[in-house]
Amino acid sequence: MEDHELTQVSPAAKVPSRAQMGEISQREYEDRVQLMRLGKKSVLKRNFSFLTILGFSCAVLVTWEGTLMSFAPGLINGGPAGLVYGFLFVWAGNLTVFSTLCELVSMAPTSGGQYHWVSMLAPRRCARFLSYITGWLTVAGWQGTAASGAYLAGSMLQGVVAFTMPQYTGQTWQGTLIVWAVVLVAVFINTVVSSALPKIEGMILVLHIVGFFGVLITLLTFGAHGDASEVFANFRNGGWPTQGLSFFVGLLGLIFSFAGVDCSFHMCEEVQNPSVAVPRSIMGSLLINGLMGLAMVISMLFAATDIDAAINSKSGYPFIEIFFQATGSKAGTAVMASLIIFMTISAVVGVIATTSRMFWAFARDRALPAWRTLSKVDPTTHVPIWAIGVTSLISCLLALINIGSTVVYNALVSLSICGLYSSYLIASCTLLYRRTTGGFAMPDASSPLPALAEGDNAEGLIWGPWHVPGVLGIVNNSLACAYLLTMLFFSFWPPAPVSDAKDMNFSVLMTGAVVIFSIVYYLVWAKRDYKGPIREV
């Protein structure tokens, strides 16, 4: 990677002096000027430093905990060996994807993220439309992540109760009430004590790391320490014609454990020096979480003594049964599982924050219904209260679907993968298009940062401080696109050959519905308001 100095303010940019902005620090002045050159007002308070945004990213990503939650698909399709090699494959793929996207956030750090970058990179004739579709896919993906995170916390809590009290039979309405409780906690932290969010995320990061070592040491100390060949050479097939096909179908759970890496993108207008801090926090969280996730996968597989019993666990979560196989104690298992539940609830706090910022940014550019209201920022707390409320309300309403049909609910929350990966793919493809057609310049002291708004479309684009240079950047960008296409394709597959309608994967239907709705809404209404990222200043 190359770290270039940020470009100096050019007279052509017509930005106010530091004195004209009042009593602010040099760092805050530079952050405001950078955002002004992107056409946006600085209205959110920059509470996050590099370390606190790193904690935020790690707390949302929670890969080692997410890997445990999504253990079942990989155990059924791929088996122990498939989980290990699949994790390495997904981890490497995410490193290529986010080293690519970090080039974009370093160049244009706005809360809009993917749709803003697509608007400035895509060919002029289709930039506005592609940007609009990308924005809706990102909104849907993050809304699905918010709903699924709260749902996982609720269903795991019911699973732990069912494991410790075999007479308990969980009811779907109980799960819905737990979802509501989790969302309310997230709303309280994001509104009433929003100024303390960076500190809270820092404490969660500490618990994230300490909890990892607590669970890992317990598994290594009390686990069975099985045969290495059973871990690294034991593949399983969930009923597919070939083992390779089964392996790729089983990657969906591992993909979900890395979902939400772009959380810091949508918080960057609240980060100090975002062109540098956000890319470093993203890549740092990927490295930290990837290492911990891989270590946890291997430890869990060595500790497991009966894979079939884990898959068929009454709790619905194989990791709870494997904890019990390792410790032999229901109380110890419940304590370890409770840590995973707490970390999931903590992740929902960050997910609600990220989703609301995405809602707010898209509404700010007049792309959503009721954009005038959704784009408001509370003058006291400096957070988008209305966007937080709408995000949380949608999550609570989606939880009602779980009462009638768990299958339909799972299909809705599957948007967390399909929506986000689709937005990553469009942004990565447009970046590859621009960098191979000579659309970028290197920064120097005489070149202003571009004002990327209202269809400026990449004229005079300048690389930011985070940049993968030359041919290496093109290769990395191409690998990212290939990985995203592959994972997006297999995300639409069912977990087993379909024998009944309830076994189908409805994510393609949900994703298609979002795309169709956004196209229809754009043609009927939004094209009159949405002109791409608007210039506020």
DSSP for 362-413, please give it.
Answer: HHHTT-STTHHHHT---TTT-S-HHHHHHHHHHHHHHHHHHHH-HHHHHHHH
**Residue 59: helix, strand or coil by DSSP?**
helix
Counts of helices then strands in the chain (DSSP H, E): 22, 4
**Residue 279: helix, strand or coil by DSSP?**
helix
**Residue 525: helix, strand or coil by DSSP?**
coil
Report how far residue 355's alpha carbon sits from residue 372's, in angstroms, rounded to the nearest whole number: 18
Report how far residue 495's alpha carbon sits from residue 502's, in angstroms, rounded to the nearest whole number: 11
pLDDT value, residue 454: 41
Sign of CA dihedral 208, 211, 215, 220: positive
Q: Which residue ranges make up each domain of the chain? A: 46-442+461-529
> Residue 131: which of 144, 114, 143 has the closest Cα?
114
What pLDDT band is residue 105 in, cutting at 50, 70 and 90? very high
Read off the amino acid at residue 277. Answer: A
pLDDT value, residue 6: 28
Report how far residue 153's alpha carbon sits from residue 346's, in angstroms, rounded to the nearest whole number: 10
- Is the Cβ–Cβ distance between 278 and 268 less than 8 Å? yes
Q: Is the pLDDT of residue 5 over 60?
A: no
Q: Please indicate, yes or no, whether the overall pTM of this predicted structure exceeds 0.85.
A: yes
Q: Strand pairing partners for 26? A: none
Report how far residue 315's alpha carbon sits from residue 417's, in angstroms, rounded to the nearest whole number: 24
> Residue 237: which of 109, 80, 390, 351 has the closest Cα?
80
- Is the Cβ–Cβ distance between 455 and 534 less than 8 Å? no
Report how far residue 315's alpha carbon sits from residue 68's, in angstroms, rounded to the nearest whole number: 13
pLDDT in tens, 453-495: 344 444 557 888 998 988 999 999 999 999 999 999 998 888 8
Average pLDDT score, the chain: 86
pLDDT in tens, 42-98: 888 898 999 899 989 988 888 899 899 888 888 999 999 999 999 999 999 999 999
Report how far residue 279's alpha carbon sits from residue 257's, in angstroms, rounded to the nearest whole number: 20
pLDDT value, residue 456: 41
pLDDT value, residue 285: 94
Report how far residue 31's alpha carbon sits from residue 46's, in angstroms, rounded to the nearest whole number: 9
Specify the CATH number for 46-442+461-529; select among 1.20.1740.10, 1.10.3720.10, 2.120.10.30, 1.10.510.10: 1.20.1740.10
- Is the Cβ–Cβ distance between 280 and 58 less than 8 Å? no
Report how far residue 382's alpha carbon sits from residue 191's, in angstroms, rounded to the nearest whole number: 10
- Is the Cβ–Cβ distance between 297 and 78 less than 8 Å? no
- φ/ψ of 258, rounded to 5, equals -105, 5
Name the DSSP letter for residue 267.
G
Report how far residue 215's alpha carbon sits from residue 30's, in angstroms, rounded to the nearest whole number: 43
Q: What is the mean pLDDT of residues 524-535?
A: 87
Contacts of 90 (CB under 8 A, 6+ apart): 251, 254, 255, 257, 258, 487
Q: Please tell me the total number of residues recorded for the chain in this structure.
A: 537
- Is the Cβ–Cβ distance between 153 and 363 less than 8 Å? no
What pairing do the DSSP bridges indicate for beta strands 461-462 and 440-441? parallel
Read off the amino acid at residue 85. Answer: Y
pLDDT in tens, 253-296: 899 888 888 999 999 999 999 999 999 999 999 999 999 999 99
How does DSSP assign 203-252, residue by residue? HHHHHHHHHHHHHHHHHHHHS----HHHHHS--B-SS-SSHHHHHHHTTH
- Is the Cβ–Cβ distance between 477 and 432 less than 8 Å? yes
Dmax (CA) for the chain in angstroms is 74
Name the DSSP letter for residue 462.
E
pLDDT in tens, 169-228: 888 899 899 999 999 999 999 999 988 888 888 888 899 999 999 999 999 998 877 788
Read off the amino acid at residue 439. Answer: G
Q: Strand pairing partners for 236? A: 78
What pLDDT band is residue 446 in, cutting at 50, 70 and 90? very low
